[in-house]
Amino acid sequence: MSRHIAEVVENIEIACKIYKMTIISNQVAQSAYPGQFIHISIPHDESLLLRRPISINRVNRNNNQVDIIYQVVGKGTKILSGLEKGAELDILGPLGKGFWIPKGTKKIYIVGGGCGVAPVRFIGERWDYLDITSFLGFRGKPWAYQIDEFERFSRKVFVSSDDGTIGYKGSIISLLDKHLSVENPDLVMACGPVPMIQALQKTVLKYDIPCQISLEERMGCGVGGCLVCSCAIGSKDKWDYKKVCTDGPVFWSEEVILDGESETKC
């Protein structure tokens, strides 16, 4: 992990209020792996003291370019969306413990919902030698992005939307459930809003499939010092608080105890 200045080379809107930013960062491009994130200091507004965590969508080790995808939800992401080519960003990263491939894994299902589609793309880019099927859920067609990128490394891509304007109408987890009833991958890897993750936890438990999930908990320092990102990890009888920023953000699905509350807006 290092604190450094990254240069913005592109920042474009790719779906409704969803932006792809490409930055140059030798440190992140050379060492990041799927599921890790960068912690961005928001420029031009001194009232925004806390950095904003954004997952890594893709890295290119040849030219040190790093892609991130973010949804404009508040002041910080609004300022990011206005940055132009040549702008400089103070970033920390790569941070966190990301996804990993257990020995013997051959067939994986990748599941992403909303902003959670962005980090799971990196899985397919890095481990494209695996047999990959992708499941992508969006609110509707205006919010859908990067489906073609998943098609490049996936045997098959399944898409769903809440309003039926693209793909299957309904939740991506009900679509996943249908597939798990006829075919079992070695591993499911996922990121998305809390309600999606809760439904996924029940589904993978039903079919007894190992599953890694990435949590997008609110963060402060991003490096283990403030405890803002604590999350209950363990079993219902025996659990402990872990820090999502340094112990995660990726955990085994059966270990994560999520309450019913969701403040996610992806």
Ligand X SMILES: Cc1cc2nc3c(=O)[nH]c(=O)nc-3n(C[C@H](O)[C@H](O)[C@H](O)COP(=O)(O)OP(=O)(O)OC[C@H]3O[C@@H](n4cnc5c(N)ncnc54)[C@H](O)[C@@H]3O)c2cc1C
Query: Interface residues with ligand X (CB under 6 A)?
Result: 37, 52-55, 69-71, 73-77, 115, 118-119, 216-219, 249, 263-265
DSSP state of 260: S
Nearer to ligand X, 133 or 214 (CB): 214
Give the span between the Cα atoms of 72 and 139, in whole angstroms: 15
Find which of ligand FES, ligand X, none residue 110 binds, CB within 5 to 8 Å per kind: none
DSSP E strands, 148-262: 156-161, 168-169, 187-191, 211-214, 230-234, 239-243, 250-252
Q: Name which of residues 205 to 264 contact ligand FES (CB under 6 A).
A: 219-222, 224-229, 243, 245
How far separated are the first and last CA of the chain, in Å rounded?
A: 27
- 142 token code pair: 């205006």
Find which of ligand X, ligand FES, none residue 16 binds, CB within 5 to 8 Å per kind: none
Q: What angle do CA 225, 245, 60 make, to 5 degrees?
A: 125
Asked whether position 50 contacts ligand FES by CB under 6 A, the answer is no
Find which of ligand X, ligand FES, none residue 70 binds, CB within 5 to 8 Å per kind: ligand X
Nearer to ligand X, 185 or 243 (CB): 243
Q: Map tokens 């902003």 to a residue.
A: 115
DSSP state of 184: -
Asked whether position 42 contacts ligand FES by CB under 6 A, the answer is no
Nearer to ligand FES, 24 or 226 (CB): 226
Asked whether position 147 contacts ligand FES by CB under 6 A, the answer is no
Find all residues with CB under 8 Å of 207, minimum gap 6, and list them.
Answer: 180, 181, 184
Asked whether position 3 contacts ligand FES by CB under 6 A, the answer is no
Nearer to ligand FES, 8 or 228 (CB): 228
Asked whether position 172 contacts ligand FES by CB under 6 A, the answer is no
Asked whether position 74 contacts ligand FES by CB under 6 A, the answer is no
Roughly what angle, to the nearest 10 degrees, separates helices 194-207 and 172-180? Answer: 10
Find which of ligand FES, ligand X, none residue 121 binds, CB within 5 to 8 Å per kind: none
CA dihedral for 43, 243, 26, 34, sign (positive or negative): negative
Provide the minimum distance between the beta carbon of 168 and ligand FES in the complex, in angstroms, as a whole number. 36
Asked whether position 40 contacts ligand FES by CB under 6 A, the answer is no
Give the span between the Cα atoms of 171 and 199, in whole angstroms: 9
| 18-35 CB burial, b ≥16 within 10 A, e <16 | bbbbbbbbebbbeebbbb
Asked whether position 95 contacts ligand FES by CB under 6 A, the answer is no
What count of other Cβ atoms lies within 10 Å of the Cβ of residue 62?
7
Find which of ligand FES, ligand X, none residue 225 binds, CB within 5 to 8 Å per kind: ligand FES
State which amino acid sits at residue 71: Q
Q: Contacts with ligand FES: how many residues (CB under 6 A)?
A: 12
Provide the minimum distance between the beta carbon of 95 and ligand FES in the complex, in angstroms, as a whole number. 9
| Positions in the binding site for ligand FES (CB under 6 A) | 219-222, 224-229, 243, 245
